[in-house]
Amino acid sequence: MSDFATLQSHAQRLDSTSIASLLHDDPARAQSLSLRVGPLYASFARQRYDAPALDALFALADAADFPGAMRRLLDGGTVNATEGRAALHTALRGDASDAQVARECAALAVQARTRMATLIDALSASDVTDIVSVGIGGSDLGPRLVVDALALPGARFRVHFLSNVDGNAAQRVLAGLDPAKTAAILISKTFSTQETLLNGRIVRDWLGDDARVYGVSANVERAAAFGIAPGRILPMWDWVGGRYSLWSAVGFPIALALGMDRFEALLAGAAELDAHVASAAPRANLAVWHALTAIWNRNALGLSTQAVLPYDERLKLLPNYLQQLVMESLGKSARLDGAPLGVDTVPVWWGGPGTDTQHSFFQALHQGTQVVPADFIGVVRSEDGHADNHRALLANLLAQTEALANGQASDDPHRAYAGSRPSTLLLLDALTPQSLGALIALYEHSVYLQSVAWGINAFDQFGVELGKQLASRLLPALEGKGGAEDPVTRALLAEILARQG
Ligand SMILES: O=P(O)(O)OC[C@H]1O[C@H](O)[C@H](O)[C@@H](O)[C@@H]1O
């Protein structure tokens, strides 16, 4: 029997076993299925697995050689096999590997940070008050999340983000900014992304001064050809995937918004998690637990979506960030050797911040026909000065996870809660650069380990290419030059052109 079939047989065995009864039979689960790593505490006690099912999951981790796979990642092995590359984001933030290539990459990252600090010093000494960061996908979501989570009022720079090619986005971001006091950073690993180039031109023209345009790219030639002076271009490398790149110079907006010290602290928090994942035995390894739980919910219980519910306003962009990290990494149907997978991969990730979401979609989580596993994320201490609110926030967080797990019987089917809706609770001691760095690194490693279990490549994204190619072919048609081959697109083009007049 395959490892996945074994998991399914455990799921069948547990078919009529509720989470409440698992807890009733083994009250020690609350402790035995929880882990602490640095500033993170994780409870898996409300997942719908028992000890034999967990044995099967850890056997799968053994069979897939999770520790060996983790070493390959950290040591710069060619984990991105379809593109023949390493994925050395861990080298951007620490020294989790003694391998020569990892050390060389870490040295490059340090050099880039030194240059970044120099640019920040120069900007700090100027009249610039606002920064517009232009990028999309991996060149936007990470910096946007971290800046939104950790920027403090009164910081030296206000940082704004522009990603969407929709001109309304540029209009909104630039409204109210003074071109004389604004600098722009164009972030693009390839420097060929349509959205970023179009928005970059808008911002450059609006600034009217090339001297305040900075670039971050692995393609320095293209960035220079755009008109950015080499001294204002910070490097990226092909050994860093876009969605794993916030630790590199892609984090320039983060360093501007938070200051270099807090950017370094973010990296240190991630490095601490790297060291844990690299050395902890599977049963004591937080990323292994998180990854195996995802495999259990997807492949044993067959759950096709996953919610992420941060109970902290500052983490409201985490679901957007994780959508790219998880779904672009794991949304694959072919094994590394090209063979079809035979098992399901990534569920649809979605979510939003609590408590707002309790008043929108939680009804479906509690009583809908689809069971949605959820990652709840809470912050123990808050420095916002509103202790009553924070207690209310935590009370709601605890209440929701309990209600989803335990449910409540009723003679009235409309008022009954089935319960047995699984969740993981991740608690951060406080929201700091360190703890956020650790949290993001946890998700990165969990994603990688899931890819190892499935035998897929977490570091390519060929699935996003076809639509881009079609869009560039259709551009002339929108100017009335040429048509489209597809009859539906042809009809739609005719409709659009006629209505545009
Ligand atoms: O950084 P860039 O080269 O501009 O790429 C920006 C983004 O666009 C691509 O289409 C990918 O889907 C993302 O993984 C990438 O982060």
Burial class (CB in 10 A: 0-12, 13-18, 19+), 158: middle
Sites in the chain below the pLDDT cut of 70: 1
What is the CA(126)–ligand 1 centre distance, in A? 31
The whole-number pLDDT of residue 239 equals 98
Q: What are phi and psi of 386, to 5 degrees?
A: -120, 75
**Which ligand 1 atom is at minimum distance from the Cα of 250?**
1
Is residue 308 within 8 Å of residue 374, measured between CB atoms? yes
The whole-number pLDDT of residue 357 equals 97
Ligand 1 pocket test, pick from 134, 162, 189, 194 with the greatest ligand atom count within 8 Å of Cβ, gives 189
Determine which residue's CA is closest to atom 4 belonging to ligand 1: 188
The whole-number pLDDT of residue 1 equals 63
Q: Among 263, 183, 174, which Cα is nearest to 215's?
A: 183
The whole-number pLDDT of residue 480 equals 86
**Which ligand 1 atom is at minimum distance from the Cα of 217?**
1
**pLDDT tens digits for range 300-337:** 999 999 999 999 999 999 999 999 999 999 999 999 99
What is the CA(413)–ligand 1 centre distance, in A? 48
Helix extents (H) in 208-285: 220-225, 252-258, 260-279
How far is the CA of 119 from the CAs of 196, 220, 226, 419, 433, in angstroms?
22, 17, 19, 54, 21
Q: Provide the residue type at 486 as one letter.
A: D
At the second CATH level, the architecture of 3-27+35-84+284-407+423-457 is 3-Layer(aba) Sandwich (3.40)
What is the CA(137)–ligand 1 centre distance, in A? 5
What is the CA(188)–ligand 1 centre distance, in A? 7
**Which ligand 1 atom is at minimum distance from the Cα of 218?**
3
**Which residue shows structure tokens 């060291």?**
275
How far is the CA of 494 from the CAs of 291, 477, 485, in angstroms?
48, 10, 13
The whole-number pLDDT of residue 210 equals 86
The whole-number pLDDT of residue 2 equals 78
Global confidence as pTM: 0.98
At the second CATH level, the architecture of 89-264 is 3-Layer(aba) Sandwich (3.40)
Q: 167-174 and 194-207 are packed helices; what angle lies between their axes, rounded to 10 degrees?
A: 40
The whole-number pLDDT of residue 482 equals 86
What angle (nearest 5°) sits at the alpha carbon of residue 469, between those of residues 466 and 473?
140
Determine which residue's CA is closest to atom 9 belonging to ligand 1: 137
